[in-house]
Amino acid sequence: MLSLDAAFLAPNVTPELVAQQTERLALAHATLTNGTGAGSDFLGWLDPAAMADDALLDEIESIATELRARTDVLVSVGIGGSYLGARAVIEALSDSVDRPVLFAGQNLSARYHTELLKSIAGKKVAVNAISKSGTTTEPAVAFRILRALAEPGCIVATTDKNKGALRKVAGGAGWRTLPIEDSIGGRYSVLSPVGLLPIAYAGIDIRELQRGAIACARACAEPDPKKNPVLFYAAARNLLYQQGFLIEALASFEPRLHYVLEWWKQLFGESEGKNHTALYPSSVEFTTDLHSMGQYFQEGRRALIETFLIIEDGEPSLTLPTGDNADELGYLVGQELTTINHAAYQATALAHREGGVPSLTIRLPKLDAYHLGFLLYFFERACGVSGYLLGVNPFDQPGVEAYKLNMFGLLGKPGAKISQEELLAKVGAAGDEAIVRF
């Protein structure tokens, strides 16, 4: 269902080098599987079938069907893992989408939300508020703006089962609710009600998505890295990090994978970026970025590794027509654009490897709900193993709170830990003489 091409990792990473990591990999694999490591309270995603059982899937599909019958558009309100997973799936599988899902609460831009309000004016709107607490600033602001615009009975709160501001408000208002289990963190929540309701509303088969994840979970039970792609990927990126590489770029040649790349960046960045360690997760979209970042990849600082994400089949048939050859494309006449795009990938991987950038290629046979579910679970599991190899807790995010504390103080939130006056003094501590103005 998924294959790894490691040819362009050599000589930095070889099967022999990976084999030398077998003991460490087996320990990390067992730590994750058995729930004996740091963050083990957040492993509710590890069994995709248990995360959303048949009864819960029935409920999600029933709510989605009713909302689709009564409304024209769903606005999903959330930030981070509360929106990236659903958006990744919906945009990747856009050919299966028959009902629009829009997203709010992932930023504080007045321009963005004003344009969103214009786009839904005159339409029948459903709103799905997604937050464990209900007090995260960005989605809470957006939800306050949007909830009055929803059709009666068309607000769904996906939130903590027992506590939190959103749970309290939803109970008082009589809104329908879906649970976010305590054991599931945001960036691992795409296959839970957090992601599944917006995905189902869009018209995508959530059972096929889950079925792919279940198949990946079974395939990744093997503790031998020669037989388990999760362990091989985790070992390869860890070995390259030990060799001094600092940045991993996930590269795609398919524009509709944009938010899969964004979801992947949050998954690895928030999971591993601790104790001043880990590869920095970045992304590029080729061939577009070959005309902006290609020079750096070829000849910039040799701190980069690449992971290519390639879809092997299922693209539309589009061939290059004949012309007067002023564009010098006569040699491509009759060839499919898919073939030309694949040649661009092969040429890029070869050029970058010869330029000193090791790369690994992840191949999916096709891009559908089943294979995408397989891929998402593959990355989630690999992230858990990779975090344990690094010696960090892959399931917390203590650093995320720093900016919030400052923002609460600057905006004068009651009970803020740092006062507005103290923060304004820090902001201006350099003094006017240190500021260059034009």
Q: Which of 16, 23, 118, 291 is catalytic?
A: 291
Whether residue 406 contacts residue 290, with contact meaning beta carbons closer than 8 Å, is answered with: no
66 is catalytic: no
366 is catalytic: no
**Nearest by Cα to 264 from 360, 374, 385, 375:** 375
Cα 124 to Cα 95, 98, 121: the distances in Å are: 23, 16, 9
Q: Which of 138, 181, 248, 270 is catalytic?
A: 270
Q: Residue 260, Cα to own-chain centre: how many angstroms?
A: 5
Cα 151 to Cα 69, 201, 247, 334: the distances in Å are: 12, 15, 46, 51
Cα 112 to Cα 108, 109, 117, 142, 206: the distances in Å are: 8, 5, 9, 11, 29
Whether residue 80 contacts residue 192, with contact meaning beta carbons closer than 8 Å, is answered with: no
Whether residue 332 contacts residue 387, with contact meaning beta carbons closer than 8 Å, is answered with: no
Cα 263 to Cα 23, 375, 399: the distances in Å are: 30, 12, 18
Please report, in angstroms and rounded to a whole number, the separation of the first and last CA atoms in the chain.
57
Paired tokens of 178? 């879906």
Which residues on adjacent β-strands are paired with residue 360? 307
Within 10 angstroms of residue 420's Cβ, the number of other Cβ atoms is 14
Rounded Cα gap, residues 195 and 89, in angstroms: 9
Paired tokens of 99? 């009902």
404 is catalytic: yes
Cα 347 to Cα 125, 286, 337, 338, 340: the distances in Å are: 46, 12, 15, 14, 11
Contacts of residue 404, defined as CB under 8 A and 6 or more positions apart, other chains included, come to 137
3-state secondary structure of 319: strand
Rounded Cα gap, residues 4 and 2, in angstroms: 7
Whether residue 106 contacts residue 157, with contact meaning beta carbons closer than 8 Å, is answered with: no
Q: Which of 113, 265, 404, 413 is catalytic?
A: 404
What residues are labeled active site? 270, 291, 404
